[in-house]
A and B are shown apart, each in its own frame.
Chain A
Amino acid sequence: MAARHKSVETRYMEDRDKVLRGMRRLDRRTFMKVLAASAGAVMAKGLMPPHTFQLVNVAEAALDKSASATGAPGTPPFTFAYISDTHMYVRTLNQRFVKGAVKAVEDVNALDPQPDFVLFGGDLAQLGRPEELEQGKGVLSMLKAPVKMMVGEHDWFYDMGEKWQELFGPPNYSFDWKGVHVIVLMSVYEKDFWTARKLTPAERMQIVAGLDNPIQSRFEVGEKQRAWLKNDLAKVPATTPLLVFSHSPLYKYYRNWNFWTEDAEQVQALLTPYRNVTVIHGHTHQMLFNQIGNISFYGMLSTAWPWPYAPQGLPPLTVQMNRADPYDQLDGLGDGQVNVGKEGLADMMYNLWDRNPVTVRAQYLRSHGKVYRPPAPQFASY
């Protein structure tokens, strides 16, 4: 009886264990080879059974012929890693989130070759306390590759960014990297909801920290920063690929949870003249991708907890990740890498812990889902 009527979960776990047992003694490079080979075997047999352990091919810049074939000269491909939404309380209160962040740091440090840089996607702290931010800086300082910092609302609304800026500098900046113009935005400004209510800094932070708390305002880049962005882009030719980092998605997904940037359209308008634009954002703690005009969007994973998909507004190109298993503290979490091809097209690798990695290719988004569709979930959000 037991053998004939195994649950989906049991069969999945057995298949998965079998694969992982075989992998245990392999080094990373061989692991990748085996992974690619077995994925190839599975594909060749036409077997992509949705009910067993699926192998997903890992991003390899060399495999992406579509991007390299049309590459512009002078923009060599490069890779960067990301860690996002660590939400660390001080470790004396909560070890779990610190462990998640440390695990991500170890993942990235194990990459060979090392990424050009590591983008931190915001929400380093949980309640924006100076000691949380200092602890966070300590954890990230263990990274071997250089770190590019972005701020999230959990870092900001206790002291309105004072400590964060003291530790990490200005919240918005830009730089050029191997022919790509990179912009880091501060997209989580909120209109003042606290003065009239006479809220303390801790109360203000707690309200912003509550995703479903309707008292807070919507996120915005703001007029001043948009002017800065316009000025920054004035010297960048339209043929230069753009890579933009924002904490909140730079489009409107779900207002009630601030999966949203109020002035998203105005920011998009500034990016529209450019041929290839990739926006990579945090905040949503899930596999999430979108294409609006020439702009490809990818959401980053969190290392603290996964969010469910919002009840409405999900971009149609997004393939949901399976619901997270609450019994596995690492499930639905992770970090990842982004491979930037010759034209600045970026493939996103979601390194999901305790799951198979998933790669979403720029070509998938640019073709509006016609090619390279990522595997479908078995269990979507309710």
Chain B
Amino acid sequence: MISRRIVLLMFGTAIAGAALAIRGARSYAQQAATHDVPAAQNGGTVVMLCDGKTSIEVKNLKPGQMMSRARAQAVSDELMDQWRRAHPGERWEVAQASQTGGEHLYAAGSAKQPPAAAPSLAVQQGDTYASFQPRDYKVWKAETDKFVADGKRVFHDAKALGSTIGISCDMCHPDAANTHPETYPKYQVQLQRVALLRDMIDWCIENPIKGKALDANDPKLRALEAYIYAQRKGVALDYGKH
């Protein structure tokens, strides 16, 4: 039962990680610039699977136009179905890992990656973590960096922070200096209670910045937290430190 769920999860990850090369859609085309996508025949947009071979034309989609999430999901499902029909009995992850073509998708401009090594007998195989490929790590890093970059933007932007007096975080905390995220939770004597980093971010937004405190789930607060932590990579956690 458990193994079946894991297989399903892996499949989901493969779908999510499968970058689609879309002719005309700039952001995707920049990341996956190495595939030669055939020209559209019926005035739509050609979408290609990251194997560099399987493609379909999406009707009534102009170059640069965004698809709805549901439609994009349908297109990727259809592409995967097409790939499965062409590769009966094969598994997508295995097929991509044994090719040299799969990995360079997220390494535009870098040296060509060597083909993934054949599974070694010296390390454990077959479980969730063993089946992740370098490309997965690149996807995760790209997503994390994007999140941190968004936090950096908000941190430096008085308007995005909702400041009514033109003050942003970086004015007192260049490169998030003196925010010491590693010291939370700690008793904050001025608040008379134990505070988390996000409590202090919100305090700063309400007081020196003169904006409205953000909800704990607000994407801006989450991104700010991400940026602040990212500036302290490698610093030992030391909760409660003053």
Contact = CB atoms under 8 A, between A and B. Distances in A.
A62 to B, nearest CB: 38
Interface residues of B, number: 22
A326 to B, nearest CB: 7
Given A7-B189, A329-B208, A257 B165 contact: no
A95 B170 CA distance: 19
Contact of A308 (B156, B178, B242): B178
Given A96-B165, A326-B208, A382 B170 contact: no
Interface in A2-18: 7-10
A266 interface: no
A379 B174 contact: no
Interface residues of A, number: 30
26 contacts: A7-B187, A7-B189, A8-B242, A9-B189, A9-B190, A10-B189, A89-B165, A89-B166, A93-B165, A210-B170, A212-B156, A212-B170, A212-B175, A307-B172, A307-B174, A308-B173, A308-B178, A311-B175, A326-B208, A327-B207, A379-B242, A381-B177, A381-B178, A382-B177, A382-B180, A382-B183
A382 B187 CA distance: 17
A126 to B, nearest CB: 7
A381 B190 CA distance: 19
B226 interface: no
Nearest to B168: A210
A211 interface: yes
Contacts of A310: 177
A137 to B, nearest CB: 20
A9 B173 CA distance: 22
A215 to B, nearest CB: 12
A94 B165 contact: yes
List of 7 A-B pairs having minimum Cβ-Cβ separation, nearest first: A308-B178, A212-B174, A94-B165, A211-B174, A308-B177, A382-B180, A327-B190
Contacts of A211: 170-171, 174
B168 to A, nearest CB: 9
B187 to A, nearest CB: 8
Which of B156, B174, B204 has the most chain A CB atoms inside 10 A of its CB? B174
Contacts of B228: none
Interface string A89-100: 100011110000
B167 interface: yes
Given A212-B170, A305-B171, A305-B172, A311 B242 contact: no
B44 to A, nearest CB: 36
B177 A311 contact: yes
A256 interface: yes
Interface in B128-166: 156, 165-166
A210 B156 contact: yes
